[in-house]
């Protein structure tokens, strides 16, 4: 049996890769790990709310109102960032506007974090995997002042680190700080994330495709052609691929990272920009995909090159195994 490497040990060891690192990013990543453990614990209790602990909106025995799980997760991460001291401001799916922290310590923080605290919210009530997605940037505003909108609206290629936490049959944290991708599984018996998937590489191709095919008739022809290709005996594999759609982006993405596959959320007639948000869903996963040898595009352009204009901006997403994304793009005109 080899020695277990915990996430904290790994982060410390990796700090040496960055000659001028002062430890702030390491502390921030550790704060994220602690918050995700708390959220993981709460997610594991999700079925008890409503049926045993009382419905959302009810007041529990401590006199606290039961909150929706995505709000609980949002508060947990915000608290970690606000009191951690490394972050001057955040933006999240749960907040219409970004939040600039006002304490002196926070104003001296070098980083901003953009995150989706609990993605796949329609799956919470039915006990299907959900996830957290996060993206970290250096602020562009002056240290010592409050965070600004410009700090939040940076291109994905400026990301310093990004990751996701998957609350699946086990809880996993996967992250990159620009030198490959590593995955850690939470061992609940010791409360530590342990290195379980070192140096993750996305297979160059695969035979799994994930898309909400309910939308197929309102997609552009190129998307319809690609899905027909996936289902055809005339494709590169000589047999139809398997369709797999969980409806939780983190879970669908993670499966494709390991097995090889493509995830598509294209624009539709009713929503030309698709559904997914650039800043805290597409950019972080695009950074991870590329670091693992995969690809992430809108079908036409690289996700990480997009200049953001709004916090909750949506973009179409084609992400996964390189050859599969390239093939899909070749059919769009």
Tell me how far apart the alpha carbons of residues 190 and 204 are, in angstroms, rounded to a whole number.
35
- Among 6-14, 116-124, 289-297, 322-330, which window interacts with ligand AHM (CB under 6 A)? 116-124
Helices (DSSP H) in the chain: which residue ranges?
Answer: 7-15, 24-44, 48-51, 69-84, 104-107, 149-152, 221-230, 249-259, 283-291, 322-330
Binding site for Mg ion (CB under 5 A): 116, 119
The listed partner (Mg ion, ligand AHM, none) that binds 275, CB under 5 to 8 Å by sort, is: ligand AHM
Q: Is residue 299 a contact partner of residue 210, using CB atoms and an 8 Å limit?
A: no
Closer residue to ligand AHM in complex, CB, 259/312: 312
Least separation in angstroms between CB 328 and ligand AHM: 16
User: Closer CB to ligand AHM, residue 18 or residue 245?
Assistant: 245
Gap between the Cα atoms of 135 and 99, Å rounded = 15
- Calculate the alpha carbon distances from 289 to 38, 54, 106, 153, 194 in Å: 26, 40, 31, 21, 21
Q: Which does 259 bind (CB under 5 to 8 A by kind): ligand AHM, Mg ion, none?
A: none
Among candidate residues 178, 172, 173, the one with its CA nearest the CA of residue 156: 178
119, 151, 192, 290: which one contacts ligand AHM (CB under 6 A)?
119
Q: How far is the CB of 85 from Mg ion (least distance, A)?
A: 27
CA distances (Å), origin 295, targets 102, 287, 321: 38, 9, 6
* Residue 192, number of CB atoms within 10 A of its CB: 18
CB of 119 vs ligand AHM, minimal distance in Å: 5
- One character per residue 228-247, x = contact with ligand AHM (rule: CB under 6 A): -------------------x
Nearer to Mg ion, 86 or 281 (CB): 281
**Stretch 150-209 residues interacting with ligand AHM (CB under 6 A):** none
From ligand AHM, Mg ion, none, interface partner of 248 (C-beta below 5 to 8 A by class): ligand AHM
Binding site for ligand AHM (CB under 6 A): 93, 116, 119-122, 212, 247-249, 275
């Amino acid at each position: 049996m080899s020695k277990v490497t915990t996430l904290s040990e790994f982060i410390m060891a990796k700090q040496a890769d960055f000659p001028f690192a002062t430890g702030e990013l390491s502390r921030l990543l550790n704060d994220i790990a602690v918050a995700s453990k708390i959220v993981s614990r709460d997610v594991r209790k999700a079925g008890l709310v409503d049926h045993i602990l009382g419905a959302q909106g009810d007041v529990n025995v401590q006199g606290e109102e039961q909150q929706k799980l995505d709000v609980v997760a949002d508060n947990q991460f915000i608290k970690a960032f606000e009191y951690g001291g490394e972050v001057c401001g955040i933006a999240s799916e749960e907040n219409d506007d970004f939040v600039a922290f006002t304490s002196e310590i926070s104003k001296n923080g070098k980083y901003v974090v953009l995150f989706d605290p609990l993605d796949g919210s329609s799956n919470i009530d039915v006990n299907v995997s959900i996830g957290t997605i996060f993206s970290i940037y250096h602020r562009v505003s002056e240290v010592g002042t409050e965070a600004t909108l410009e700090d939040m609206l940076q291109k994905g290629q400026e990301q310093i680190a990004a990751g996701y936490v998957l609350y699946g049959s086990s809880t996993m944290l996967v992250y990159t700080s620009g030198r490959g991708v590593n995955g850690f599984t939470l061992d609940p018996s010791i409360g530590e994330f342990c290195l379980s998937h070192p140096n993750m590489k996305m297979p160059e191709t695969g035979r799994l495709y994930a898309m909400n095919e309910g939308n197929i008739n309102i997609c552009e022809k190129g998307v319809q052609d690609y899905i027909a290709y996936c289902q055809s005996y005339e494709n590169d594999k000589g047999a139809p691929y398997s369709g797999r759609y969980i409806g939780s982006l983190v879970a669908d993405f993670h499966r494709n990272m390991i097995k090889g596959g493509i995830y598509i959320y294209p624009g539709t007639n009713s929503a030309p920009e698709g559904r997914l948000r650039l800043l805290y869903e597409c950019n972080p996963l695009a950074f991870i995909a590329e670091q693992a040898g995969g690809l992430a595009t809108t079908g036409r352009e690289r996700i990480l090159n997009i200049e953001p204009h709004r916090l909750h901006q949506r973009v179409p997403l084609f992400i996964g195994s390189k050859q599969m994304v390239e093939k899909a793009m070749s059919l769009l005109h």
